[in-house]
Structure 1
Amino acid sequence: MFGLPEDQVHGVSIRHLTHGEDVQRDFELRDEILSGARESYTVEKRYIRLNETTLHARTTVIAMLEGDGRGYQYVSQIEDISNEKEADRQLKERAAQLELAMHAINGGFWHMDVRASNFQTSKRLAEFIAGEGAMPLNLEAYLKRVHVGDEDQADLSALLRGDIYKSVAQYRLDTIDGERWIRCDRRLLRDDQGKPMRIVGVAMDFTEEHRRLDELERSSQTDTLTGLLNRRGLQARYPSMSSYSGYALFTIDLDGFKQINDTLGHATGDAVLVETAARLLATVRETDLVCRTGGDEFVVIIAAARDQAQDVAGRIVGCLEAPINSVPQGASVSASVGGVWSAERPERSTTSSRYKPLRGQSRREKSVDPL
């Protein structure tokens, strides 16, 4: 262990082989043996090898006493624990790095003993949720913080059964700083027989990233000029629309719009589109869908019974009849409005035979002039 030939070890004082910072503690323990305060001791200490590298060891010393109780000889066992100390150092270093990472991103760890059904957060995660000084949370306390409606995302059943070995969930969590979006990576650890033993997880606050992604998603589904849905937005929102009374779909085209752009400029044309969008939005509810499908074409989808849809059709015609102040007198802009109604959710082209034309807003289109 010391890198010395055996004949050079004999007769060498242990003081000369011991790291200078550990000599004092070693001799204090020896003195306690000499005073009768103890018969043996075990200590971790450092030795210096021949090549001047450090050897970490666990040293056990036992005194061999004479009949009168006075020590005359020591027996020592020195165990090289350098690898153990290095592994411990690396483990502490990783733990420190993870702790720094948790402080940087906000969040923390949790674990669950599957057999004991014991769930506990780290103190860091508890303080992120409940404030400084908060004690680790159990499963009930943690789930109470999960946003209503997001419970399925926080469910651990598949991991507890062993159906999967890892998963990622995203849910909202009530914290000391308000509601935050959490990304939670979970992993299942199994015993030697392959049975679920422990689940470990790391919860990270990604609220700002979620907001950026949400904003990007909204902007990709929104018409930049009018603020209405675009085609992509309509396709994304329509599947979640529900109604027990039926659906109505209206198509609106602005007639003469190209001439407005060509003669009065695109700024005036943009003003016409913005005003048209505002008027259409004013005729429907927030839950209804208003979309600019391109150019001067608009689509409105509402959830309503046939008679209610007929009333909305009338309001759409009425809102488009009033002149637009940004268009000079003498410039003509008109609109064509068509409408169909279905008792069931329309999933195919509006030319399907199950769609019924609305009176006054039919497939033959009703012309409204002036706009």
Structure 2
Amino acid sequence: MPEFVLEFFGTLLHVTGMEGPELSYFFGPHLLGLRKTPEKEKASLTVHLGQRSGSGGRGVRVFGPDGRLLRRWSFHGMGGIPPLLPPFAAMNGQYAVVQAAVLAEGDRVVALIGGVGSPRNSVALALGGRGWRMVSSQYLVVDRATGHTLPYQLPMELRGVDLDAVRAAGLADGPDAVDATPGGPTALPGLGAAEDGGAYAWSGDLRRVQSPLTGPYLQVRPERLLATVDRGARLGPAHLVRLCCTGTDRCELEEWDVTPSVWPPEAADGLPAASRLRLLLPGTRSADEAADLLHERLTSLPAAKGTVLCPAEPRTPREHPAGSTTWGSTRPAPRSSTQPSSVGSSDPRAAVATT
């Protein structure tokens, strides 16, 4: 069984049970290639996807460098909070995860917070046209020890007005788009090894997907649409911007002192932020106006500097109902919100697994 090497945030993973084209499509530059020899590329963690004995279905197992089983859970897809790879739940609480599109311009970082159905991708694409680079299209990932914002290059998921925006920019979801709906082909066309026999290329970078919860949408590698940040970059704290659709006549940007939904929950209090803002949009088709307002405001502010938040001492792993991926976890109780209504949600319960 092929064993692949992936790098996330400076940590090497070995992954088995998945095809190279799938890993290449979902993780792009994070996939380094096939593992060559046991003596080289020693990984901090090994992730195995395979059939579960007895109960059926697929399962995920995570092993430490000494071969000890650290975590296991049922496989429900690549997405969710936390996502499948890297196995955040087995990484000693080192990283905080928020559902957001994250971009950088120079030393400035912005996290557009919103869930499925929010206009975050439309605003992100508009910022890309103003020189901002993609850090992550789906998740803000923060190193809790240093406060750094980390690149996490996953495919963009485009729906509704997002599709209108990319089609206007010349992207066509035509014959080169792979059908990833159930029963459709899974192999990506044109995939091959790099000239040095190492990293894979993601030449099949466009997919049509049918979700049972949110309907049809288009997945596309971010590199096809805008410039991206190198996977080894370490960026400062982000400006946290919550996107809200209102009845206002124009876009407005205001201070916002509410902490977004974070995984794991205890990371919320210490989540670093250059500023906390709320972007009020008059409708879903105001991305250009919103991008102009954000660009003008954020580029006029001094760049945030990363600071060490606590000693580099491993935290004690704990089980948490909210966002936990272990078997036997209980679901979090529904919460009521007193905040103004907004399009999309960064609540972990709103995350939809990629199928």
TM-score (norm 1): 0.21
| Greater relative contact order structure (CA < 8 Å, 6+ sep) | 2
More helix as a share of residues: 1
